[in-house]
Amino acid sequence: MNRDGARARDFQVIQTATVALVATALLAACDTSVGAQKSGGGAVEAVRVATIDPEGRPSSDDVEVFAAALQSGSSGAWETEVVWRAHTTDPAVHVELDTGVDFVESVAEGLRSGRFEVALLPDSILTASGSDTMRAIKAPFLVRHDAVVERIVLGSVGERLLEDLEGTGVVGLAVLPETLRHPVTYDAPLTGPETYAGRTFRALDPAAPPLFEALGARVRDANEGRVNVDFDAADSAFGQYASLAAGAVFVGDVTLWPKLNVLVAAEDWYTSLTDAQREQVLAAAKEAQAHSLETTPTDPEYGADYCAMNGTIVLAGLDAVRGLEEATAPLRAEVAEDPRTSDVYAELEAMTQAAGDPPPVAPCAPDIDQGELVRAEGEFPEGTFRAERTVEQFTDAGVDAGHARDHAGVWTLVFEDGKFLDPGCPGSTYVVQDGRVSVRLGPRGPTCGSAAGKDLFDAAWTYDGQFLQLVDVRGGADGPEWQEFHEILWGSTPWVQID
């Protein structure tokens, strides 16, 4: 399975969003009103809560908890709306998505311009604002324990993070935990410092370039490049596996730094509120924070979830971890000795020592049971088939424009003697039984996505010797939310046999 003229898109989208959220985002995009609007008589005021994430990400529940708490706490005065993937709701920004637009800054500008009232943003907004506190938190290999993250969120360090946002046009409401970050590759795992040399990392955190460059690696922007073509490594988290190509190999005992989120409000909107209203906003933020602390899995728990999804986690070993710490000691020393960050660094170092060694993350490898391969039977045709899918076909079915662009183009399917031939997802198979063909992806490969090792789709078919039409298409591992996506991709028009 591949797409001509471009690398085949992996199926990471399958478990990261729902068509329902797409509809929400598209409706928000079509609404030309700006800022909080009052309905008849000024009785109810709309409050838009923005996030760059879709539903289903680690922080998604926190956004919904805040929105619900704010609405219920207002006794009907506020009606909240969660705007998922909020960076796509501005048509001007939407056009720029494939050219490396800064998603976080896009939403932050939406707060400053009055398009949103509140947003949950990743901690890179603090890095962009020049936060010395965040610089200390991101010192490599310093914060490695979930217990330390909790103390950061609830204590004086968290308060300093919010203070660091003063003068940026947004007001900090609460800091929330998300995940601990680990290095990731798609082939040989990273272990000691020497294994980083020559790698090209996808930079998902502004703190990444100094660290990886110190270890001899190159860094590319997260919005640019393709897996296994332009980069072969990344910093990520077990809980973000759905945003990675299949075959990602995490190093479980190497923790780079934590990733936090911050609830922020538009300064103009927040300062226009009464004291009582501001208290309601802060109370909702505290409720979201408490929910996040209570429900966010620990790093080992996230790791176990990733293993259950047929992921791979390796351990570098104590010697390799110490080697990495020694190789990057100058980076930590720079933060520890800088008068702007030294006190926060010392506080974090004391927290880390008090917490002790973090609980271990268990290693794992895929255990894919393909079952007994059933040779294709009946009259399903073998061969190579080709069809084109357009952006409009996907969007007309309710698929969001970003995913539509990712999957538009000319696609090629190859069926041969029970094998579904996809160079980017080796080991893929198909079976024919009871008048239906069922495709199962291989366990690992750059285009397998989060459906690796699972059923991709099944369908009935018609075939006239040249045209293969897949009908009654049913999506597989991703569930019913992406049924329309599968119907368009596999069954919207016939596949022409070319070989």
In angstroms, the CA 377 to CA 390 distance is: 32
What is the Cα 106 distance to its own chain's centre?
A: 17
Which pLDDT does position 68 carry in this prediction? Answer: 97
Instruction: Measure CA of the first residue to CA of the last residue in the chain; give whole Å.
Output: 14
Q: 433: part of which helix (H) or strand (E)?
A: strand 429-433
Rg (CA), the chain: 24
Domains of the chain (ranges, CATH numbers): 9-177+261-297 (3.40.190.170), 182-257+301-340+347-355 (3.40.190.170), 383-497 (no CATH)
In angstroms, the CA 227 to CA 5 distance is: 16
Which pLDDT does position 7 carry in this prediction? Answer: 27
In angstroms, the CA 144 to CA 255 distance is: 6
Q: 375: part of which helix (H) or strand (E)?
A: none
Query: What mean pLDDT do residues 207-229 have?
Result: 78
Q: Which two tokens stand for residue 140?
A: 């490599």
Q: Which two tokens stand for residue 201?
A: 């990392």
Reported confidence tier of residue 377, pLDDT bands at 50, 70, 90: very low
Report whether pLDDT(451) > 50: yes
β pairing state of 118-122 and 45-51: parallel
Report whether pLDDT(12) > 50: no
Whether the pTM exceeds 0.85: the reply is: no
| Most confident of the following: 184-193, 222-231, 295-304, 428-437 | 295-304
What is the average pLDDT value for the chain, to the nearest integer? 83
Q: Give the C-alpha distances (Å, rounded to integers) separating 393 from 12, 58, 386, 489.
A: 20, 30, 16, 9
| Of 231 and 312, the one with more pLDDT | 312
146 sits in the region (left: phi over 0; alpha: psi -120 to 50; else beta) called: alpha
β pairing state of 249-251 and 182-185: antiparallel
Which pLDDT does position 87 carry in this prediction? Answer: 80
Q: 67: part of which helix (H) or strand (E)?
A: helix 60-73
The contacts of residue 157 (CB under 8 Å, 6+ apart) are 133, 137, 151, 344, 347, 348
pLDDT tens digits, one per residue of 36-45: 444 334 568 9
Report whether pLDDT(98) > 50: no
280: three-class secondary structure by DSSP: helix
In angstroms, the CA 256 to CA 270 distance is: 35
Query: What mean pLDDT do residues 245-273 have?
Result: 93
Q: 88-97, 205-214, 227-236, 363-372: which range is least confident on average?
A: 88-97
In angstroms, the CA 351 to CA 152 distance is: 9
Q: Give the C-alpha distances (Å, rounded to integers) separating 150 from 75, 143, 294, 300, 425.
A: 31, 11, 10, 15, 39
Which pLDDT does position 243 carry in this prediction? Answer: 67
Which pLDDT does position 224 carry in this prediction? Answer: 57
Reported confidence tier of residue 186, pLDDT bands at 50, 70, 90: confident
Q: Which two tokens stand for residue 55?
A: 């539903």
Query: What mean pLDDT do residues 203-213 have?
Result: 87
